[in-house]
Structure 1
Amino acid sequence: MLVVVLAVALAGGALVASAVGWPAPPADGLRPADVAFVDALVPEHEQTRSSLASVAGRVTDPELAVLVAAIGATQADELTTLRAWRGTAAVTGVEADDAPAHGHTATTAEPTDGLDAPPGADLDTAVALLLVAQQQTAGELARTRLEEGGDDEVGAFAQRVADSRTAQVAQLLRLLERLDARAP
């Protein structure tokens, strides 16, 4: 029950964020670490949303289904902000295309095996494993950005990403334990 409440809260957070809007791009431009973070997180989010779309309506575990919906809604809102920031021409000290990666990389190969499975425990497990990997990556990108510093608005966004992804990974790991215990 607590897990479902957390997932609903995450989805509600996405709706509130959408209603009030994420921060506008900083007036004085993005710092190189901000650009690297945004440029790494956009493809990460796009890959996650693509994966979620490929399993839409086929997840059978109710808790996982709620979490999948919450992650999808949250990342749709976050992508709006990230794309707005990505379109910001002014980058303090460097051109956006020249901003160093600062250790940020787009998502590497994620464990997509099993996403074509029919609805049931195997698909649910594959989705949960994929989301663990993708949410860990997003959290790591956010924590790296926090260590590097930069614009305060981007930093606040990175903190929200780091916090929410840490909670989501913990929830997914508990869910995987439950799914494993139910397996024949």
Structure 2
Amino acid sequence: MRRLIAVAMVAALFSSTGCTGRPARSAPEAARSTPVVDTSISTIDVLFLTMMVAHTEQTLEIVRVARAGITDTQLRTLVAAIEVTETDELATMRRWLRDAGPEVAAAAARHDHSGHSDAVAGLTRLRAAPAGQVDGVLRDVLSEHQRTAADLAKAQLKAGTSERVRDLARRIAQSRTGEVELMATLPGARQSAGTTTGSSPGRA
């Protein structure tokens, strides 16, 4: 399921109508606009930011729903770090989207991102998780969600044009991959992965 979601997100970056590598506006157009727009950003960059804003909002909802039921200390520490980091990233991405100008942001907003995440199903699982089982469900849900974020960021590294957006994508790819790897080492991770996703016991 995660792979299908990631493929849909990557396809949106590479082939959506209007998502070219051109700057969002030319310098003369920006000079005539108020407020001044960021002319270094392309519509592909804006699409990535729009998708990642939605994805990050879902991440924050996931960790907030699960926070009270977490029992493992390492997992609780990781969740706290994710909440701080992604809250800051979310503010940055929203600011960059505002800087891109209303016309470019509106063009990206026309893309339907509703099918690009498994967060709704994950949140349903978390809310239904009995006391004492939140850790395992959270590991599964958050690992899938962060893998998808890493896949989207890697696609942006191939398709994006803005160096600052590419730098953010690089950091997202590295951090989300690291988080998934860490969650795979936590107590019970392998057993949880094997029983809830159908993967072999040896897979994280």
Indicate if the aligned counterparts of 2:136 and 2:188 stay in contact, CA closer than 8 A. no
CA RMSD of aligned residues (A): 2.8
- State the partner residue of 2:107: 98
User: Is it true that 1:116 corresponds to 2:125 in the alignment?
Assistant: no
Indicate if the aligned counterparts of 1:26 and 1:151 stay in contact, CA closer than 8 A. no
Q: CA 1:153 to 1:53, structure 2 compared with 1: closer, same or farther past 3 Å?
A: same
After superposing the two structures, state which structure 1 stretch, 73-82 or 50-59, moved more: 50-59
Of 67, 71, 92 in structure 2, the residue corresponding to residue 60 of structure 1 is 71
- State the partner residue of 2:158: 147
Q: Deviation digits for residues 89-139 of structure 1, max 9, x if unmatched?
A: 448xx73322486x996423443314333432x110011111101111111
Structure 1: which 5+ runs fail to align? 1-24
What one-letter code is carried by the residue in structure 1 that aligns with 2:69?
Answer: R
What one-letter code is carried by the residue in structure 2 that aligns with 1:172?
Answer: M
Q: CA 1:167 to 1:38, structure 2 compared with 1: closer, same or farther past 3 Å?
A: same
Q: What aligned pairs does 1:138-177 form with structure 2 within 5 A after superposition?
A: 138-175=149-186, 177=188
Q: Deviation digits for residues 61-84 of structure 1, max 9, x if unmatched?
A: 111111111111111010110110
Q: CA 1:133 to 1:176, structure 2 compared with 1: closer, same or farther past 3 Å?
A: farther
- CA displacement at 1:29 relative to structure 2: 4.2
Structure 2: which 5+ runs fail to align? 1-35, 193-204
User: Is it true that 1:133 corresponds to 2:144 in the alignment?
Assistant: yes
What one-letter code is carried by the residue in structure 2 that aligns with 1:96?
Answer: A
After superposing the two structures, state which structure 1 stretch, 109-118 or 64-73, moved more: 109-118
- State the partner residue of 2:84: 73
Say which one has the larger Rg.
Answer: 2
Of 117, 123, 141 in structure 2, the residue corresponding to residue 107 of structure 1 is 117
What one-letter code is carried by the residue in structure 2 that aligns with 1:67?
Answer: L
Q: Deviation digits for residues 7-42 of structure 1, max 9, x if unmatched?
A: xxxxxxxxxxxxxxxxxx984242111111111011
Alpha-carbon distance in 1 for matches of 2:69, 2:190: 16
Identity %: 30
After superposing the two structures, state which structure 1 stretch, 47-56 or 155-164, moved more: 47-56
Indicate if the aligned counterparts of 1:37 and 1:104 stay in contact, CA closer than 8 A. no
What one-letter code is carried by the residue in structure 1 that aligns with 2:94?
Answer: R
- CA displacement at 1:176 relative to structure 2: 6.0
Alpha-carbon distance in 2 for matches of 1:48, 1:161: 13
Alpha-carbon distance in 1 for matches of 2:138, 2:48: 25
Alpha-carbon distance in 2 for matches of 1:90, 1:178: 44
Q: Deviation digits for residues 143-181 of structure 1, max 9, x if unmatched?
A: 111110210011101100001011111111222655738
